[in-house]
Structure 1
């Protein structure tokens, strides 16, 4: 059965402009995304036309400067937009988050000339980005990456393989981290690589348990030439740029997780009100009512956590610890809530005729991407107790 349109959430929006923005997002989600989500996910269809629509509506550059095509929106608003999109279809919500991640390096660390040349097209020109940090042998230990960039006159020549790249093979540009110097984090530099660069090829998309409409693939760099004018930041600054991007990206994943959980709760509440057993709706039974109450409480707590972290970021205060907490809590909560939604629907929850099983499969990946939840616990503990002694 088709997904239900996302139910209105009592949003915490600071201005009339942001409230109008959210109304636009909700309209797009209800008309253009949710009605086709189940069918297109099953078929593995990537909705590029939806991303073109989001770009035309100014929704792919929300947290960036309007001088370069952005929307001048605080993270507090941007993340709630992601939540709304993810509730309609995670492929779209997470895709918008990854695009924002891919733009972060140039927006935050690029030169004035670079931003003027590239950002307008990246933020509002219909382009779609990818973010290349992980490799086949370096996931959680990202600082051990092996892809190399060697200086050759005014160019850099990039050789190596990146793995688990969202939008791999279809993105118009990639922010790529490559080794240009010593081992470890200080030898990594960031580059802006065109998606059609000669020598850049994509492997076949991974066959995943969820998010089948979002292509995830390895990228092979076989002597890809990139002008030094496309180097982002200083040589050796790439790992710091990557970590800066991931702090914001983790909040994006947290918001997407809350969106998926909210969609699962909406489906469970609707079903519980319609399904009758023993002469009355199953929503009348206390055991099930308590499950729904716990699901709603976890969602509300997760939403409050990611918004609190977003407000720290908007105020220019440190938020890395809070971002890790939000990513950890929201994605774990999404896994619990979606699993409970399947249970509420019973046998129907286990079938593809209802969306609950898809939400559960999609929630799992959110505990893994942009730093596994075990890595989030390490990040939080380091803020509390300092780095481990060795």
Structure 2
């Protein structure tokens, strides 16, 4: 196991009815800006519930944050924060809204060009406004981590950033808020959480059995509840398990002390930026081919993954690894998330622009070994056609 520092200050309020605890979680003298995406938060009554819980505090709203939050939209929120003297932010939505709120929290008090936050990956963030979240879509784990991804549509650039200053102070996780989600978003959420775990687990043996077993437990849970989450939208226990699994998948715990990959995510970001695919769709396209391309380097962990998650115990190491990858791809398809570029009307002619964009953003040495080059990514995309 590698040396590591683990820090996570986010308070979690989990369970039905926990939105009411906003009255204790948000400072009583706060001037609050509630940020959200589309009108579903209002239509389902969640915004009214949030506003009611905030009581007599001064509350204003900012809506319209996209599924892949854009720099352009978020800068409008930054302007509103500055104009109105907002001192507390509250994200109501899924990972995109929370990611966007993290950027607003940092950008609103940033000195200089706010785009530099993304260009420097958040390393230049020195402070941020306090904020919390009410999670309505389990998927990204943004509700309990210090990372976010923002797209600048004018440049077709989707870039991540990280900072200890953008941990949410708290996150409210009420599984009943997921009951009205479209099935597409539920399937995406399962895939998103699954690949988050895989990026931290499917690397090479690091003599970290605790992290391995944590990761395998999360993967097994997603396999066990994935179909059920789609078939039984108001099954509280299933939705609760999905919500908590997605949070634990990326709150820093299972990745502490072990090598991490993230090549699939970086290539997936380019697919979203150029073609506006859902984040989970890009992961479902890239991951199976990325694992096949890097099978030799990941063989030991692939065999372990196949045995412990998919109960694959027969055949050569190569055969077991391939069977594990095939099981993974089939699982994504079962959830309604397609795994080929052609499923999204993308073909050979789209590959070179993706590679060029990857190079333009400096993504030329990815993966746990730094050996995932643009040429490797090109082969991965070709295998994903």
The two structures have a TM-score, normalised by structure 2, of 0.25
The two structures have a TM-score, normalised by structure 1, of 0.25
